[in-house]
Amino acid sequence: MLLPVIPFIGILITPSMISIYLSCPRKAWYQYVARIPLPPSRAMLIGRIFHETLSQLTHYRRDEDLHAFLIDALTQTIRQHHDLLHEYDLHEHDLHERLTPWLSHAERILQHHLPRAERIMTEVTLTDDQLGLKGRIDLIIRQAERLLLIEWKTGRLKQGFMSPHTLQADAYVHLTRTLADERELFLVSVSTKQHLAWRESPFTPIRLEKTISRVKSIFQQEEPPEPVRTPACRYCPYFSRCWGMQPSS
């Protein structure tokens, strides 16, 4: 069955689109061209609450107790989502228990970098129209002439030259090129405690340009690319569309 598709023209490519394209081009097509929404999940809600908590760092003053600030931000964010918690059968207390260790890990990283912060910015959206790229960076800390970029991840980081996380790191470092000459990005997984430190290399713009052009060519297709069976298919929300059945238990 042909799905109604929305022409993907003049839309900027985001690091999330690149990441999903690298995991499966067909999945990216379903999500961004056919716009079949992903079913909401508990994991998505938990990730959202965690990110919203840390986005409040923009209000942090250096003379405040960082630990108390973060716990207070977490409490407020959980309360703001009270109705959704109920929908997903989540309880405030359980969420506190689940997210406090993640927050403690983030706090250790922040304790190291915030004392030298001249400015703290959260959820900063930047674009490169020429490259056709747009991204939102979780946290930018300005330290004198240097910018420190932090992206919080709640799952395992995949390393390697063409891994989704490596290309995301390239995209974020590239997008801040007009803000400072010296920039360093940390991808931090708060669940696995992995860190990936990243700086722009001479290959960054070339690699990004090639990847963006491959993503765009898929997004201009009227039909999805052929499915390729991988172990990840089992956990994919589009499984039955690709394989005509539900994943076996």
Q: Which residues are at the interface with ligand SF4 (CB under 6 A)?
A: 24, 26-27, 227-228, 232-233, 236, 238-239, 242
Say if residues 158 and 39 touch (Cβ distance below 8 Å).
no
Q: Cβ closer to ligand SF4: 67 or 234?
A: 234
Tell the smallest beta-carbon distance from residue 244 to ligand SF4 (Å): 11
List, as one string, the DSSP characters of 128-174: ETTTTEEEEEEEEEEETTEEEEEEEESSPPPPSTT-HHHHHHHHHHH
Tell the smallest beta-carbon distance from residue 176 to ligand SF4 (Å): 31
Bridge partners, residue 197, by sequence? 186
Q: Cβ closer to ligand SF4: 34 or 121?
A: 34
Tell the smallest beta-carbon distance from residue 143 to ligand SF4 (Å): 40
Tell the smallest beta-carbon distance from residue 76 to ligand SF4 (Å): 36
Q: Which of 156, 160, 143, 149 is nearest to 207 (CA)?
A: 160
Q: Cα(74)–Cα(59) distance, rounded to whole angstroms?
A: 14
Q: Cβ closer to ligand SF4: 32 or 238?
A: 238
Tell the smallest beta-carbon distance from residue 162 to ligand SF4 (Å): 17
Q: Cβ closer to ligand SF4: 95 or 242?
A: 242
Beta-carbon contacts of residue 153 (< 8 Å; ≥ 6 apart): 165, 187, 188, 189, 190, 191
Beta-carbon contacts of residue 71 (< 8 Å; ≥ 6 apart): 100, 103
- Using CB positions, name the residue nearest to ligand SF4: 236
Q: Cβ closer to ligand SF4: 27 or 183?
A: 27
